[in-house]
Amino acid sequence: MSIVQMGLREILRRKTTFVLATIAVAVAVGTMLSVNASLEAYIIRSDDLLARKEVELKERLKVLQDEMRKATLKLSFNASGFHFRPFCLLGHTARPFLAPCHNRRPSRKYGETRHISGK
């Protein structure tokens, strides 16, 4: 007796079990195919949504950049190009600002603390 004949005799002997097993396999395959199809549809929808949002973001970014350019032009410089005129061209002298206590050294060493006790 060959393996094929033995398999066929087993199927004929246990018909209900074979039918139930075949149905279970068919349901499993159908479920996997439907899940795969729904995931592919989700990927397509999300890619379309991402492309639309990217276009909207680029348009909004252009509007915001234009608003920023207009706002910085009111401040007498254009920050988008970083073209600043130096003070010497405006007639100002190029003196650095020095605070009155600039040359004074601290009276305590690094790490010392002054306590409130007055000592």
pTM given for the model: 0.45
How far apart CA 60 and CA 19 sit, in angstroms, is 61
Where b means 16+ CB within 10 Å and e means fewer, 69-101 reads eeeeeeeeeeeeeeeeeeeeeeeeeeeeeeeee
Integer angstrom CA distances of residue 51 from 5, 45, 57, 119: 59, 10, 10, 71
Express each pLDDT in 13-41 by its tens digit: 999 999 999 999 999 999 999 999 999 99
Express each pLDDT in 72-119 by its tens digit: 887 765 555 554 555 455 555 545 554 445 455 555 565 566 666 555
| Range list of H helices, the chain | 3-13, 15-74
> For the chain, which residues make up each domain, given as ranges?
3-90
pLDDT at 8 over 60: yes
Residues 87 and 94: beta-carbon distance below 8 Å: yes
pLDDT at 51 over 80: yes
Tell me what pLDDT residue 99 has.
47
Tell me what pLDDT residue 69 has.
85
Tell me what pLDDT residue 98 has.
47
Q: Kindly state the average pLDDT of the residues 8-16.
A: 89
